[in-house]
A = this chain, B = another copy of it.
Amino acid sequence: MVQAKVFFKCENFQKMGAFKMRGAANAILSLSSDEQAKGVVTHSSGNFAQALALAAKKIGVKAYIVMPKNAPQVKKNAVKTYEGEIIECDSNPIAREEMAVKVQKETGAKFIHPSNDDAVIYGQGTAAMELLENYPDLDYIFSPVGGGGLIAGTALAAHYFSKYCKVIGGEPINADDAYRSLLSGKIELNDSTDTIADGLRTNLGDRNFPIIKKYVEKIMRVEEEEIIAAMKLIWERMKIIIEPSSAVAFAALLKNKSDYKNKNIGIIISGGNVDIANLPF
C-alpha cells in the first residue's frame, strides 16, 4: 500500500494502554528515595493520570492526581483502580496548576509534568529505542505530536541510537501548534483544538520544544477524515485497536507516501484507549 517496509511499535499493548507508562515510570524511578517517600503529583485528565498512578503503585510510591471536577467518571475510576489519590479542581488550566502547586506545598510531593519533563521525555524515547534495537535500518520514524514528550524522546532515541534515522511528526491540521512552532521558531498555541485526536490537543513546552527544533526533520499535518481513514484501516487490516491520536502518524505517511518509497519506516502507535461504544465509523 505504501510501497515501503513499515514497522509498527504497538504502544496500545503497553500497560494502561499507552506509551505514557514509560515516561511516568522513568520519572518516578529517577527520583531519590527521599523524594519517592514524599510521593508524586501531576495534573492530567488523560492517559498520563493513569500512567503515573499505575507506575507509582508498582514502584510503591504515593501518587496525587489533580483532575478537573468534570473529568469523565471512567477516567477517575481508572486512577482509583491504580490507587492514585484524586484531588479535584475547577476545569481550567490555571486552577489545575494552582491546585498542583498547593498539593506540592502541603505534601512535599514532586511535580511531574505529563510531557514537559526531562525524565518523562527520556522514558517516552524508550519506545523508539526498542524499535531501533529490533530494526536498526529504519530510515524514518513517524510519531504523533501532542504535548511533545513522545516526539522529543523519539527524536533523541533516533539521534543517539541510529546513524541516519530521521524523525517525522504527524499532527492534526485542527491543532497544528507544533507545525507552526517549528515555522516560527517559538512555542505557538492552539486557538482551537477541534480534533478527534484528543491526545494531541496540548501545546509544546520549554523542555521538549528545543529538542524537537533541533532533532525533528519535519511535521506533517493531516485532516480529520484522513485520521479516521487511517484508524479504520489499521483496525480492519491489522486487527488491533488504536486511538485516533495513534492514527495521525500513519495518516501522515499515507498522505505523503510517494516521498517514502522503498524506505524502512517505523510508526509509533501511541495508544489504544478508545471508547469502543462511540466510534467515528
Contact = CB atoms under 8 A, between A and B. Distances in A.
Interface of A: 12-13, 17, 232, 235-236, 239-242, 272, 276-277, 279, 281
Contact of A239 (B12, B236, B279): B12
A241 B231 CA distance: 13
8 contacts: A17-B239, A232-B276, A235-B241, A239-B240, A239-B242, A276-B279, A276-B281, A277-B281
Contacts of A17: 239
A276 B12 contact: no
A214 B281 CA distance: 45
Given A13-B239, A235-B241, A241-B241, 14 more contacts: A12-B239, A17-B239, A232-B276, A235-B276, A236-B276, A239-B240, A239-B241, A239-B242, A240-B240, A240-B241, A276-B279, A276-B281, A277-B281, A279-B279
Contacts of A239: 12-13, 17, 240-242, 272
Contacts of A279: 276, 279
A235 B276 CA distance: 8
A13 B277 CA distance: 23
A236 B17 CA distance: 9
Among A239, A240, A242, find the residue whose CB has the most chain B CB atoms closer than 10 A.
Answer: A239
Contacts of A276: 232, 235-236, 279, 281
A240 B272 CA distance: 9
